[in-house]
Structure 1
Amino acid sequence: MKIFVTGATGYAGSRVSAALSRAGHRVLGLALDASSEAAQALSRSEVTPVQGDFSRPETWRGHLDGVDAVVHLLLDMGDPLGSDQRLFAELTAAQERDGRRRHLVYTTGISSYGRTGLPLMDENTPGNPDGPLAFRFQLEKELAATGLSHTIVRPGFMYGGAATTSMTGQWFAAAEAGKPVFHGDTDKRWSWVHVDDLARAYVRILDNPAAVDGETFVIADDQRLRALDLQTSAVRAAGCTAEISLETAEAGGMMQMAADQDELVSSAKARRLLGWTPHHASFTDGADIHYRAWKAAQPVERPV
């Protein structure tokens, strides 16, 4: 299968692209700069980097020719609603041009639920329409209305590897600076998933996309730990003994505000229909290993 991946040089995108390539697919990875180190890393994973700016469809439209599937792993913070709507329009137009049905694996996330007050959420939980990321559920509905072949993935909080955009990476960085801060409700609990376990879910979906056309999957492990306890283990793994200071979610910005509640989910459907199970039990099982992986991914300062 030939697959086009947006956000391929990003945290999740790089691991998903590599996993799809290892599964035997021919993978094209969209990169803002195809000569960058991140793009070259794709090449080392036998993924073909192709240059384009997701916010400008004319720069990547041609790469849709001949592909069987598109994996969307990018959130355009400049225009998160409009950019994804343009993706749907481009795929619809491509299908009208050549009659080829491309299967879109569309990624949102469990923070899209917002504050529901429920002890456990799954694919049927409607979510809070007033949540900061509720527009992502709106996009899911718009995608379903297009008639495009698709599967929706809602990952839990990601950890592992470079942790570039993971909350754990932020915790490690703050620990190294000697200023660890926790934002918001100290009792909130989140569902997590190792980035490589998440990548395996995409591989499972694209093993037989027709079998999961129109389906939504929550992908997370079974742990129910407090976020503050995970941060404590991250801070200590980084060698920081300072006390974690507490601040409001508002002080941490939009993403902290969006996640300032319990976000616990069940992946029973993914286990049942995809045969997916997490290989990594919990971040706390190997916080020191995850810290070293994050540290190894940091840019090395070289003398001038």
Structure 2
Amino acid sequence: MVEGNVSLIMEFILVGFSDLPNLQGFLFGLFFIIYTGVLIGNGLIIVITKVEPVLQTPMYFFLRNFSFLEICYTSVILPRILANLWTQKINISFIACAAQFYAFFVMAITENFLLTVMAYDRYVAICKPLNYPLIMNHKVCVCLVAGSWISGIPFHLLLTYLIFSLPFCGSNKLDHIFCDIRPLLKLACGDTSVNEFSFYIIVLIVGVLPFLLIMWSYVKIITTILKVPGNKGRSKAFSTCSSHLIVVLLYLGCGIITYLRPSSSHSIELDKVFSIIYTTVTPVFNPIIYSLRNKDVVFALKKLLFK
């Protein structure tokens, strides 16, 4: 015990799915299949967009980086879940929890920015087609991707410090599937209003703002597509953009609902469900969404598998 009758917590108990003892084997198999699907599906996207000459365009350059990010993103969460289900050891050290918290949100912020970049790419391609090669040259594409990766670091360094510098007292039972902010704040002692306010500001900047920019891009895109003569041109443009829009709505929609809901309306079970959707389900469906709705990707995939 330290001064103020506050226990010095050295580790947390990451409850996860331990309250479902009869489903441990089933859940392990399910998450193993999901993680394998994420690795194989996104790995194939990376390979085909790298080796297929037809796919050497900015759109597929961003898609390749997005698929790599999805692998990193799920690898922060799923291996720990699988290890907990397999070994039944659900403790996580204070340092490991902080590291997972930091890595997860850096990846999440990077994904928000990269989705925004991909929307901008489609906006330029459809609304400014004559200037597209000039605007979206290779140097600009590399800078946009690098900026997406780097931008999340300062935001979350601050947030990680604000959360893990708090004193934790009483129970060390973290009722969630990973080290997330709301379960951590529930275990913190004293007034956490400043920390919560800082978190809301960061979510507005790195979550809601990218979402609004993406929606603005698609309003412009749809307006331009409707002016395109002929159904074939419209169909191709809608097909190219709809895949990205579905991913945005799945991922950012669940994330915004989870983190901007009032604390009073929060449910532990509902939070777990939303967390599973945007950390595991969305990444495994992304390759399917992009592949099935893109003839170039389907052709390249068939060509690779045939070889």
TM-score strictly above 0.5: no
Q: Give the number of the structure with larger relative contact order, counting CA–CA contacts within 8 Å between residues 6 or more apart.
A: 2
TM-score, normalised on structure 1? 0.27
Per the normalisation by structure 2, the TM-score is: 0.27
**Greater helix content:** 2
Higher strand share: 1
